[in-house]
Structure 1
Amino acid sequence: MRFPVMALALLATLAFIPISQAHAAQREAIFAGGCFWCMEPPYDKLEGVVSTTSGYIGGESERPTYEQVSGGNTGHAEAVKVVYDDEVVGYETLLDVFWHNIDPFAEGRQFCDVGSQYRSAIFPLDQRQRRLAEASKEAVETRFERDVKTRIEPKAPFWDAEEYHQNFYKKNPVRYRFYRAGCGRDDRLEAVWGDDAGKP
């Protein structure tokens, strides 16, 4: 009876190796780019992205609601948390996608949404992410020869938004397209980034 037991134990051990390796490669990144509905799609399209979650970050209160955040009194920004496979896509690429989906010259707003809750910001989760974020911001400023208003803010708790906000562009495609067009997001992105607007 020893051999079957040992064999089963070995198989069980081997079965967990790919799973643990996969989890080891997963990382998180958090970006605020105005309405979080519009920040999920470009990352969902990106190979190596495992998931995106809309939420709130950078404020003082715990477990804020959409009504509280949208009122502009909590200090939070609408943001998206990106879980990605670091062996497939790097943080540098996520930063590139971020920049090409925001207006880096708008302060305290993005497109038609006005208020600090719609500010553009990067929330590095470690020193490496911070160095890369700062370098990417400098690169944008050099390219345009203008001051970039996007903030690089301290790591802070991320609170998931209500379920109806998650994957909103999939759940309510007509309303999403109407909002995005009415807000002038794509027109402004094209004006800033040209053919690179809205990457990927």
Structure 2
Amino acid sequence: MQIFKTLKPIALTVFMLLAMVLRGHEAEAQTQEKLIVAGGCFWCVESDFESVPGVIEAISGYTGGTTKNPTYGQVGKGNTGHLEAVEIHFDPARVSRKHLLELFIRSVDPTDADGQFCDRGYVYSTAIFVSNPKEKALAKTVLAEAASALGQQIVTPILESATFYHAEDYHQDYYKGSKLVLTRFGPKRQAAAYKRYRQACGRDSRVIQLWGDAAPFAKAY
């Protein structure tokens, strides 16, 4: 009986700790906001934004089309209407939506209407997705400021939010993955394959050419 008397306060303490953890998760979920953008290869956009303080996670996926639960193969063929996109979960107390939009537009080529870098076609086009008038007005402001900074026309559209479908598991966190994959450069770990792809695609060199020191994520791979 003494054992049960000892276990009761322990169990109560464990229960209270679990309740506190759950309340913490609920509070965090309530403060999260989402931003969906399309910026060409979703591996690159995911990699860029997961490095931003205040971003909780970035998820690769597909949106903007009509096909339900599309696969990578279907989207790649260009007949689903979807774009490769990334859903960015962030804490607005740590990073603003406007700042994230500013980072986004300076991490892509918003003057290119036919894809991004080496990835050509509508699937790889840029876009900002909004779900209300306030978000739309904010996106317009950011695009206008970017056009003024570049002195060029911005072709990145602002689109109404649609269902966001998560890409297959093997696409998530590809940029830091350790699985061995077969590439045109030979067998490589995912992280190494990602770096070779990004370099060969010319993403960073074009962004630097366009934005110079204002390019937030460009790296010399």
Contact 2:55 2:95 in 1 (8 A): yes
> Partner of 2:100 in structure 1?
94
> Partner of 2:137 in structure 1?
131
Radius of gyration: which is bigger? 2
> Partner of 1:194 in structure 2?
212
3-state SS in 1 of match to 2:205: helix
- Alignment root-mean-square deviation, CA: 2.0
Q: Deviations over 1:30-87 (max 9, x none)?
A: 0100000100112111111111100000011101110011111111100000111111
Report the Cα distance in structure 2 between the residues aligned to 1:191 and 1:163, rounded to whole angstroms: 33
Alignment map for 1:134-149 (pairs within 5 Å): 134-149=140-155
Report the Cα distance in structure 1 between the residues aligned to 2:25 and 2:168, rounded to whole angstroms: 29
Deviation at 1:21? 2.8
> Partner of 1:32 in structure 2?
38
Report the Cα distance in structure 2 between the residues aligned to 1:130 and 1:31, rounded to whole angstroms: 13
TM-score, length-normalised on structure 2?
0.81
Q: Does 1:179 pair with 2:185?
A: no
3-state SS in 2 of match to 1:123: strand
Report the Cα distance in structure 2 between the residues aligned to 1:20 and 1:60, rounded to whole angstroms: 32
3-state SS in 2 of match to 1:31: strand
Deviation at 1:126? 2.6
Report the Cα distance in structure 2 between the residues aligned to 1:176 and 1:142, rounded to whole angstroms: 33
Report the Cα distance in structure 2 between the residues aligned to 1:161 and 1:19, rounded to whole angstroms: 25
Report the Cα distance in structure 2 between the residues aligned to 1:196 and 1:41, rounded to whole angstroms: 18
> Partner of 1:164 in structure 2?
170
Report the Cα distance in structure 2 between the residues aligned to 1:87 and 1:53, rounded to whole angstroms: 20
Report the Cα distance in structure 1 between the residues aligned to 2:216 and 2:114, rounded to whole angstroms: 20
The one-letter amino acid of 2:60's match is: S
Deviation at 1:17? 4.9
The one-letter amino acid of 2:117's match is: F
The one-letter amino acid of 1:112's match is: C
The one-letter amino acid of 2:35's match is: A
Aligned residues: 193
Deviation at 1:24? 1.8
- Aligned identity (percent) is 38
Q: Deviations over 1:85-140 (max 9, x none)?
A: 11111101110110121001001210011100000000013322211111101111
Q: Deviations over 1:127-171 (max 9, x none)?
A: 222111111011111122221011111110000000111011001
TM-score, length-normalised on structure 1?
0.90
Alignment map for 1:57-68 (pairs within 5 Å): 57-68=63-74
Contact 2:150 2:211 in 1 (8 A): no
> Partner of 2:181 in structure 1?
none
Higher relative contact order (CA 8 A, sep 6+): 1
